Amino acid sequence: MAESIAQKTCTPCRGGIPPLTEKEAGGYLSQTPGWDLLEAGHLIRRRFKFPDFREALTFVDEVGRLAEEEGHHPDICFGWGYAEISLQTHKIRGLHENDFIMAAKINQLAGL
C-alpha cells in the first residue's frame, strides 16, 4: 500500500530544483481535499471556518507548532471565525511535495 502523503515528513528544500508543473501539482490535490491550486499552479490555499475567534486562534497555533516540527512554514491570515492558509516553497518560487505534505497534515489538524 502506498504511503499517505500525510504520513510523510517535509524534507529541506535548498532550491536549485524546478517547482512542480501545474499538472503535477494538480495530481496532489486529490490527497489534499479542500485546497485550491492558484497562481498558475504556484500556490495552494484553503480557508477554514470556525465558530469564533478563539477556535480560529487555537487552530492557527496548532498549525504554527506543526510548521516548526516540519520545518515548512505557511502564510496564515486569520480573524473572527476563519483561518486562511497558503503554501508554496519560496526557494523555488512554486510548489514542492512538501507543500502538499503540510496541506494534508493541516487537514488532519482540522479533523478532515
Domains of the chain and any CATH numbers: 20-109 (3.30.1360.20)
List, as one string, the DSSP characters of the chain: -PPPGGGS------S-SPPPPHHHHHHHGGGSTT-EEEGGGTEEEEEEE-SSHHHHHHHHHHHHHHHHHHT---EEEEETTEEEEEE-BGGGTB--HHHHHHHHHHHHHTT-
pLDDT at 1: 36
Give percent of the chain with pLDDT exceeding 70.
97
Residue with cell 524546478: 18
Mean per-residue pLDDT over the chain, rounded: 92
- pLDDT of residue 103 exceeding 50, the answer is yes
Q: Output the pLDDT for position 111.
A: 86
Paired strand residues for 49: 82
For residue 70, the model assigns a pLDDT of 94
Segment 29-83, tens digit of pLDDT: 989 999 999 998 899 999 999 999 999 999 999 999 999 999 999 999 999 999 9
